[in-house]
Amino acid sequence: MIVLTIDQRGSRASEDKVQALLEQLRGVQTVRPFQRTAGDELQAVLKSAPDAMGIALHLAQSGDWSVGIGVGPVNEPLPKETRAGSGDAFVYARSAVEAAKKSPANLCLRASEHESAGERLDASLQLVSLLERRRSSPSAEAGRLLASGLTQREIGDSLGISQQAVSSRLSSGLWNEVERMKAWIADDLQELSQ
């Protein structure tokens, strides 16, 4: 299983953003729903690696959240309340969110201490997060439009630039490379969580 533990960064100096985030995450498919666990923190249990990874990357890149991903077994049957869950994945998620608070990527993944695959996934996720965060606004915009299904020609038309300029923006943002890496990470994360 995959447990996400998400902690609001700088919560003592800003308003509580947990309730708004809970509303945003309401439609996500989970094994146990996102739920406030304590103060400025929330947690959920997921089976889908692409969903977990997408949420973790999005929140970490916002700069508002530290995200811990714990991968491993959970004690079953799971209680109805997410915050009452236990097992290795919950322990790893706690360790990961604490590490994420000190990480420039704002996210960490922890799995079995003997799993080098978990360490590789952690490093890969952090690298992807940092690469995506450091994209220029034009590169990120071209990537979002490409992800929405537009062709490079259509993106160029909508932005009033040439197809070559679109290609340059995608290239400078390492769009294709990062997307391929994310697909591999999601596959490996899914396999590790089984």
Which residues, at least 6 apart from 95, have a Cβ–Cβ distance to it below 8 Å? 68, 70, 110
- Asked whether residue 58 carries a pLDDT value surpassing 80, the answer given is yes
pLDDT digits (tens, 9 = 90+) for 25-57: 998 999 999 999 988 999 999 999 999 999 999
Q: Give me the pLDDT at residue 180, please.
A: 95
CA distance 126 to 67: 11
Q: What is the pLDDT of residues 159-175, one digit of tens each?
A: 999 999 999 999 999 99
* Tokens describing residue 85: 């869950």
Q: Give the DSSP H/E element, type plus range, for residue 148.
A: none
Render pLDDT for 7-26 as a digit per residue (tens, 0 to 9): 999 777 778 899 999 999 99
pLDDT at position 113? 60
pLDDT at 115: 67
**Residue pair 70/108 in contact by the 8 Å Cβ criterion:** no
Query: What tens digit of pLDDT does each residue of 89-146 get?
Result: 999 999 999 999 999 999 999 997 656 888 999 999 999 999 999 999 999 999 999 9
Which of 60, 11, 4 minimizes the C-alpha distance to 29?
4
The CATH number of the structural domain formed by 2-114 is 3.30.70.270
Q: Whole-prediction pTM value?
A: 0.91
Domain ranges for the chain, please list them.
Answer: 2-114, 137-173
